[in-house]
Amino acid sequence: MPQGVSLKKIVGLGAAVVGALSVAAGASGALSVGVSEDRGKGAAFFATMSDVGLTTNRVAVIWDPSHPDAVPAQSGVQSWLPLAQKSGVRIVVDVAPAKPGDLSTPAAASRFATWVGKVAKTFPQIKDYVIGNEPNRPYFWAPQYSPDDGKPLAAAGYESVLAQSYDALKAVDPTINVIGVGLSPRGRDNPSAPPDIATRSPVRFLSDLGQAYRASGRKKPIMDQFAFHPYPAKNTDPPSVGDKWPNAGLPNLDRIKQAVWDAFHGTAQPTFAEGRRQSFAAKLTFDLDEIGWQVGVLPSLAGLYSGVEPMPTIDEGTQALYYTDVITTAECDPNVQMLSFFLLEDEPLLTRWQSGLERVDGSHRPSYDAVKQTLAQTHGNCLGEPLLWSHTSQVMAPFVRWRMPKRIKTRRTSWHFSAGADEEVTYRAGIFKARTSRRSISRSLSSGRPKPVLAAKGKINARTMSLGLPARRLKPGRYVFAIRMAATMNPARTSLYISRAFTVASHR
């Protein structure tokens, strides 16, 4: 949920705030496309959904700790629930606290989970719950870091909330689909930043979440599905432009899959399905429940909007192309089960979001017809090659360039080469006698025994760097460079590279 959206406003939406109906996804496994929209529900709303071909609507239900047992808008739900059912629209409910610090204590987390269970009992039609919203951002979860030592706190606190909510919902109905985490696509990982902007990147948050889960000793899952918000890094970026590690955009879903695998493999929490023949049953899938691009307001409608737009926008035709690309990309990733564009209709205040398929007056943008036409053609199915994925046991996209001639004079004392990866890694590097076996080199760079002729170690921050070994002359002979890189998010993932042999010859 974008920062400009007020949770307090959502609380006041009455019947629009709560919704519950799950229409089972088709047996074909086709992508379910919809919107994240909290405006009033009525016949016109669901008629629009049906006209476009949208089958999912994610709405927010906000917990007020001052009234911890209240279930809002019970009577209002019943007024539009039949309309959702008749239209074949699956309602996904996001349950979240009203304020970012509302779940910062164990007692509050327990009360929240109890309330979630009560909501499930009150509305037995509800079958899909997202627990929380963007817990890696202080706008929705606080504190993110310890003020004393800068230790990340949010993931551990959220893990407890997710686990307790999972148990509460499954106790009511084992078939309920529990969705975590509603992850924001980016963060700065700077605990020294002011508390209101001290965010946590998605890859590091998932690592924190996995550590908290393992430390808890839990023997059950904490989620059935994984929610992610792959907004572009810049509103003007097309869907094909991703983000740098440890952040992630729509083209970087494999990065998130790998981060989930690193965090949870070998535990009771399922990870994403892998490969062409891998069964998707009992595996984690994506719910991309927020994505959108803000559009410039047409001059003829400027009077219907107020305020000042805080970011660069795109034009309506470009938005239509982008939304088509998003759908066809998601359709071809077997791990993506649901996709929701943020907003069906624009918000009138320009400091909020103008990313809807409809303008504020209800008129259709080109994206309305583009989405409608795309879904009519594809029916949510991939028309190209599927985007398959398998976890790696190595460093992601490692790179090494040795830059050494075959023959070197003994007076040389400078030993440099370039290395890096598409993620943060630690490294151990060295120069070895050419006759040293690969096994011995690997052992040496893992444990320090036997010692290399020259050695160095350090960290590479998701880029290529020039690395140097100690300045020293080598005795005449044949040698090799070697480097072992290990992923900081999972040190068991390593890559070893050894250069061709070079000769150090006497300068006489």
Q: So what's the pLDDT on residue 2?
A: 65
Tell whether 389 is covered by a domain.
Answer: no
**pLDDT surpasses 60 at 15:** no
212 and 146 housed in the same domain: yes
Average pLDDT over residues 17-26: 35
Are the C-beta atoms of residues 147 and 198 closer than 8 Å to each other? no
273 and 347 housed in the same domain: yes
Tell whether 254 is covered by a domain.
Answer: yes
**CB-facing half-sphere around the CA of 121: CA atoms within 13 A:** 12
Q: So what's the pLDDT on residue 448?
A: 83
| % of the chain exceeding 70 in pLDDT | 93
β-strands 32-36, 336-342: how paired?
parallel
357 and 407 housed in the same domain: no
Average pLDDT over residues 103-117: 96
Average pLDDT over residues 23-44: 75
121 and 219 housed in the same domain: yes
Q: Count CB atoms within 10 A of the CB of residue 433.
A: 16
Q: So what's the pLDDT on residue 279?
A: 65
**pLDDT surpasses 50 at 26:** no
Tell whether 238 is covered by a domain.
Answer: yes
374 and 456 housed in the same domain: no
Which tokens hold the place of 139? 């706008």
Q: So what's the pLDDT on residue 1?
A: 59
For residue 326, which of 341, 337, 311 has the smallest C-alpha distance?
Answer: 341
> What domain range is 311 assigned to?
7-378
212 and 151 housed in the same domain: yes
359 and 470 housed in the same domain: no
Angle CA(322)–CA(325)–CA(326) in degrees, nearest 5? 85
Angle CA(210)–CA(265)–CA(231) in degrees, nearest 5? 60
Q: Taking the mean position of all CA atoms in its chain, how far away is CA 407? A: 49
Spatial separation of the C-alpha atoms in residues 102 and 26, rounded to whole Å: 37
**pLDDT surpasses 60 at 341:** yes
Are the C-beta atoms of residues 239 and 232 closer than 8 Å to each other? yes
Tell whether 385 is covered by a domain.
Answer: no
441 and 371 housed in the same domain: no
Q: What residue ranges in 174-220 does DSSP mark as E strands?
A: 177-183
How many domains are there within the chain? 2
Which tokens hold the place of 125? 């039609």
Report pLDDT digits (tens) over 206-216.
999 999 999 99
Q: Final residue of a domain: which of 322, 346, 378?
A: 378
Average pLDDT over residues 261-286: 88
Contacts of 484 (CB under 8 A, 6+ apart): 427, 428, 429, 442, 445, 446, 494, 495, 496, 497
Tell whether 460 is covered by a domain.
Answer: yes
Average pLDDT over residues 327-349: 97
Q: Which of 69-73, 155-159, 283-287, 500-504 shows the lowest per-residue confidence on average (mean pLDDT)? A: 69-73
338 and 414 housed in the same domain: no
CATH number at residue 259: 3.20.20.80
Peptide bond before residue 299 is cis, with ω within 30 degrees of 0: no
Tell whether 384 is covered by a domain.
Answer: no
Q: So what's the pLDDT on residue 122?
A: 84
**pLDDT surpasses 60 at 12:** no
Radius of gyration of the chain (CA): 26
Spatial separation of the C-alpha atoms in residues 10 and 326, rounded to whole Å: 27
Are the C-beta atoms of residues 226 and 285 closer than 8 Å to each other? yes
**pLDDT surpasses 80 at 222:** yes
**pLDDT surpasses 80 at 40:** no
326 and 470 housed in the same domain: no
Tell whether 387 is covered by a domain.
Answer: no
Q: What is the largest CA-CA distance in the chain?
A: 95
Confidence of residue 29 (pLDDT cuts 50, 70, 90): confident
Q: Final residue of a domain: which of 378, 409, 440?
A: 378
Q: Is 488 helix (H, G, I), strand (E, B) or coil?
A: coil
Tell whether 243 is covered by a domain.
Answer: yes
**pLDDT surpasses 60 at 21:** no
Spatial separation of the C-alpha atoms in residues 441 and 215, rounded to whole Å: 34
Average pLDDT over residues 458-486: 94
225 and 346 housed in the same domain: yes
296 and 420 housed in the same domain: no
CATH number at residue 493: 2.60.40.2550
Q: Final residue of a domain: which of 378, 411, 432?
A: 378
Confidence of residue 19 (pLDDT cuts 50, 70, 90): very low
